[in-house]
Amino acid sequence: MTTIESFDARLVRVPLTRPWASDVTSVGVIATHVVRSDGAEGWGFSWTPQIGAEAVLAHLNHDIGPFAAGRTADPSELWDAVWTHVHEAGGGGVTTIGLAGLDLALWDAASRAAGRSITDHLGRERDWVEAYGSGVNLHYPLEDLLAQVQRWIDAGFRAVKIKVGKPDLAEDVERVRAVRELLGPDRGLMIDANQRWHLEQAVRSVEVLSEFDLGWIEEPLRADDLAGYTALARRIDVPIAVGENLHTVHRFRDFLQAGAAHIVQPNIVRVGGITPFLRIADLAAEYSVPLHPHLLSELSGQLALTLPAVPGVAAPLAEDVEDAGFGALGALSYPSPVAIADGRLTLVPHAGLGIRFR
């Protein structure tokens, strides 16, 4: 049996070109490195925008790494044992974000040892996926927002997503109307409220904004409000997208069983890495619900290429957040493992995950 010989982690602060908010000027990356007993090496990472990076680093170095040492280097076999070990500190959140750092490094080692990209190691199902333009832009003046949307149009994106949730609904209406007019009728438009509304606000806001032909409303309520989402799904016609702040396959199952999610968006790091992401993808296929991975296109785009087609279900989309790609931010030692052009994400030849931080 190939085992884990050593594991280490370090914190890297990646400055943002344009802050996501007044208190979000960088993202925290915990870069990880594993050495297997056969000499194969792998590099992975954990990630959190502003809160908790130091806690994740401590969790990896104090709890996860020491427990994993000497155990199997097969990530799909190891994951449940580590999750069971750290579960006392929480079923998700810091625990699963930390677990991703180990899981991704092990998948990187496995695919590197096989001489393949992670996409081809898992099994490539398609050569490209559609990408949509996305941005952390609620604080942008309308002029800046429209300039951003125009950049996405010029770049060939066929769909875009913008933030909503202004204190005055009239301002949301003004912004969404202006974006829809700029996009025209043939491009998709999605909106993301980032958990800013309570149930009645969400019902009222979506009723008003639905006139702009919305592809989905993302996280209108607090992410853990299953009862609220279940009620909201019965009261609005716009599809509800959730998942970036759900941390386990169990929570995704809760939402799907309740009919509270029409689209799921797992964040590969927040759910604990590739191993649980693949389980969530199987669950989404079982319920015939589209899955569009959240953020981190340099990783999630590679996995989107591996997702099998499900009859009658929309193909996965890659989210390209402006000013957020690790390559664009100058954080990587090598070129990005993916390329996005004319609204499509494709693979750039590489081994493993192709993501190593400076």
Which are the catalytic amino acids?
163, 294
**Per-residue b/e over 126-147, b at no fewer than 16 CB within 10 Å?**
eebbbbbbbbbbbebeeeebbe
Q: Which two tokens stand for residue 314?
A: 């929309």
Determine the Cα–Cα distance for residues 20 and 16; give it in Å rounded to an integer: 8
- Distance, CA of 47 to CA of 253 (rounded, Å): 24
Cα–Cα distance measured from residue 215 to residue 55, given in angstroms and rounded to the nearest whole number = 36
Identify whether the C-beta of residue 102 lies closer than 8 Å to the C-beta of residue 68: yes
> Residue 104 corresponds to which tokens in the numbers above?
């991704």
Looking at the DSSP bridge assignments, the partners of residue 160 are 133, 189
> Is the Cβ–Cβ distance between 38 and 52 less than 8 Å?
no
319-355 in b/e form (b: 16+ CB < 10 A) is bbbbebbbbebebbeeebbbebeebbbbbeebbbbbb
Determine the Cα–Cα distance for residues 229 and 260; give it in Å rounded to an integer: 5
The first and second tokens of residue 354, run together, are 């192709």
CA 256 to chain centre: 18
Q: What three-state secondary structure class fits 52?
A: coil
Distances (CA, A) of 11 to 27, 83, 124, 355: 10, 22, 32, 15
Give residues with Cβ within 8 angstroms of 304, minimum separation 6.
Answer: 129, 292, 293, 316, 317, 318, 345
Q: Which two tokens stand for residue 225?
A: 């409000």
C-alpha distances in angstroms, 346 versus 119, 120, 176, 328?
Answer: 11, 13, 30, 16
129-134 and 318-321: which strand pairing?
parallel
